Amino acid sequence: MHAIQDHYPAEFAHCYGCGSANPHGLHLKSFIEGERTHARFTPAAMYSGGYPGNVYGGLLASLLDCHGTATAAAFAYRAQGRALGDGGAPIRFVTGSLKVDYKRPTPLGIELLIEGTLRSLEGRKAVIDLTLSADGEVCVTGEMLAVQFVAKA
Ligand SMILES: CCCCCCCCCCCCCCCC(=O)SCCNC(=O)CCNC(=O)[C@H](O)C(C)(C)COP(=O)(O)OP(=O)(O)OC[C@H]1O[C@@H](n2cnc3c(N)ncnc32)[C@H](O)[C@@H]1OP(=O)(O)O
């Protein structure tokens, strides 16, 4: 199964969090299944926060950031009856705002599950609800406003 990011055109594949063309990046891959999206990431020891054994909060926000915009794009394609990577004009979303709530420490070294659902899609604005879980426990929640990017003339 192809990830949502596998359909990003080469010129948009340099994102630190999810771009396949960024050799230093996280290479997050998100998938849409039914009414939710999901991605998985196992943080290595170098992503330590200040508290031993736990993940740095900025990394967690990065994971939500990339997964949220991928979620917005995937649901926008679906809403328009289009297939991802259909060769038409790409529907690009960027993060307008991202609220992150750290509910409990997130452990290093185990697979994290990041999930997204579409709360609303109106015009260029998509509101995405996000969770990040470890071992079945939600550690982080997020709320993203993703805005469809329109190149200005
Ligand atoms: C599947 C195939 C895909 C193919 C193709 C994909 C390629 C895709 C690559 C993506 C790669 C990964 C991406 C990773 C996620 C990042 O890391 S994205 C990087 C971080 N984000 C940014 O740099 C965004 C910077 N900000 C901006 O560029 C502009 O502010 C924005 C967000 C585009 C909006 O500007 P604008 O286009 O001038 O639009 P504007 O009229 O200001 O706002 C539109 C609406 O949104 C609202 N809004 C905007 N910002 C906010 C805010 N912060 N709070 C509340 N409301 C807001 C406005 O109030 C307005 O609402 P309405 O009046 O329409 O009701």
141 CA to middle of ligand 1, Å? 20
143 CA to middle of ligand 1, Å? 14
153 pLDDT more than 80: no
Separation between Cα atoms, residue 94 and residue 12, nearest integer Å: 12
Residue spans of the domains in the chain: they are 4-148
Tokens for 3, please give them. Answer: 């990830």
**Residue of 2, 63, 94 with the most ligand 1 atoms within 8 Å of its CB, for mutation:** 94
ipTM of the complex: 0.95
Tokens for 5, please give them. Answer: 């990011």
Superfamily of segment(s) 4-148 = Hotdog Thioesterase (3.10.129.10)
24 CA to middle of ligand 1, Å? 25
Q: Which of 104, 39, 42, 84 is nearest to 66 (CA)?
A: 39
Burial 24-57 (b: 16+ CB within 10 A, else e): ebbbbbbbbeeeebbbebebeeebbbeeeebbbe
Q: pLDDT above 70 covers what percent of the chain? A: 99
pLDDT one-digit tens code per residue, 82-111: 999 899 999 999 999 999 999 999 999 999
pLDDT one-digit tens code per residue, 35-94: 999 999 999 999 999 989 999 999 999 999 999 999 999 999 999 999 998 999 999 999
Mean pLDDT score of the chain: 96
Whether the CB of 69 sits within 6 Å of ligand 1 = yes
pLDDT at position 1, please?
A: 86
pLDDT one-digit tens code per residue, 5-23: 999 999 989 999 999 999 9
152 pLDDT more than 90: no
